Amino acid sequence: MKPKKNAATGLPAEARSHIGVNPRFSGFGGQLIQTHRALRRLSFPRSRWADVLLVPTVIFFCTLLAWPLIAELWAGIIRFWAGGLGGEILLKSDKASFPGIQSIPYAYVQAALPNPLQWWAGMLIAITILLGTTLLPVRMLPMSYALRVLAMIQVASQFYFYFWAAEFPYQSASSISALSQASMVLILLTPWIYGLLYNIFDFGIPRKILLSLMAMIYLIVLTPFQYTFAAWVMLQYSLLWHPVIYLLGSSLVQFGALVGFYSWAMSWKRRE
């Protein structure tokens, strides 16, 4: 037998009686207020620990086993672009600090300190970006803020290289090598990150595996392109652009990709 509904609100009598006892559940028009999803208890059966722990473990060890093929892919991409961008970019590899991985290929360049022309060009670009953001419409405010952060970091770099250029402690080759190693670690950590943040929900094992694989493949392909381009920028336009590349053009871009994949995957329909 169906519960009787109140003529005014269309709610079951049980719900109306519950609201009458606790007014917190009653909205402005008398409608029942649903509990926000952020306050609901997550249904987490014990069997889902397999999704959280087993799925990342399998993907992690499969990636370790496939790393020689990944390194060969990186070397091929770097070698191709090194040949196309000039002979000053070389393919080299450093010993990996992660157990189970032998070496990490990267684009080797020896970038110089900025000359006066490069310094003034960098300052002009930074000032142009700062002033140009004031002309953007209000709807593009997030982009304005992002461009201003980029320009302010570059302005700080300009002042540093103007006064203390000879004391700059970083080299392009060691930085590209370190960033490539950091990318390798991030690729291996990706299934664990999603295991703790995504696999706790009931999307089904195939989708959880698919999310990790898509994100990892994206990072595997992105990394050699990203850092070969960064090496070429420093080679052509000097170490003046090292701070922007290191702070904004490296791991931040990769974490942004992981967040984007996660946001997209959270829009998939759950089984529950």
Report the C-alpha gap between 40 and 43 in whole angstroms.
9
33: left (phi over 0), alpha (psi -120 to 50) or beta: beta
> Is the pTM higher than 0.85?
no
Q: Is residue 227 within 8 Å of 246, Cβ to Cβ? A: no
pLDDT of residue 23: 65
pLDDT of residue 75: 96
pLDDT of residue 30: 66
* 10-residue stretch averages of pLDDT, the chain, 272 residues long: 49 48 64 67 79 94 94 96 87 87 92 96 96 92 94 96 94 95 96 94 92 97 96 95 95 96 91 65
pLDDT of residue 102: 85
Q: For the chain, what are the domain ranges? A: 47-266
List Cβ neighbours of 200 (8 Å cut-off, separation of 6 or more): 42, 44, 48, 51, 52
13-22 own/partner pairs: CB under 8 Å, 24+ apart: none
